[in-house]
A = this chain, B = another copy of it.
Amino acid sequence: MVPVKKYREVDENLVRQKEAAFADFIQRKGLKTTRQRNTIIATFFRLRGHISVEELLNQVKQVNPRIGYATVYRTLHLLVESSLVEERRFGDGLARYEGHSDVEHHDHMICLECGEIFEFFNPRLEALQESLAEENNFQIFRHRLELYGACKDKEACNRRKARGNTAAGAE
């Protein structure tokens, strides 16, 4: 398995690069730069993991309490459209978002006990998918692979469960 690059600390250079890329996107689309959007993306890109709308809004409100749900939703849609962010759905009913500046394409293993999400990437798996698509005369745009199960390390798993992990926290 190829380990997925992980950042425990926020890489400020990367964040600024992302912010600039989003500004570009906004410009290209003829949209306007706003204080709220800046706050939202600045906050989002400094969060790790798989962030729900509510989690993001809570953080955002600490900077500017007047920002509401609608603007967060709208900004996330723009981030997805700009390809700076990907939407995930792990089956708990909420959309989660992850900036993939710091993690290239990857898939997920989700522990149903403790909520931990492990990220992985394997080139053979990707290649195999391509060859299966080929056989079927099908062209893949994107894919989604999720392995649901449980940690085998029960101590670590229980510890996480105890402190109430959610599906949000990857590593």
Contact = CB atoms under 8 A, between A and B. Distances in A.
Interface stretch (A29-37, A72-80, A121-129, A159-167): A121-129
B112 A137 contact: no
Contacts of A70: none
A111 interface: yes
A145 B148 CA distance: 11
Nearest to A91: B89
Copies in the complex: 2
B150 A138 contact: yes
A122 B133 contact: no
10 contacts: A1-B132, A109-B136, A109-B138, A120-B132, A125-B132, A128-B128, A137-B151, A139-B152, A143-B146, A143-B148
Interface of A: 1, 89, 91, 109, 111-112, 118, 120, 122, 124-125, 128-129, 132-133, 135-153
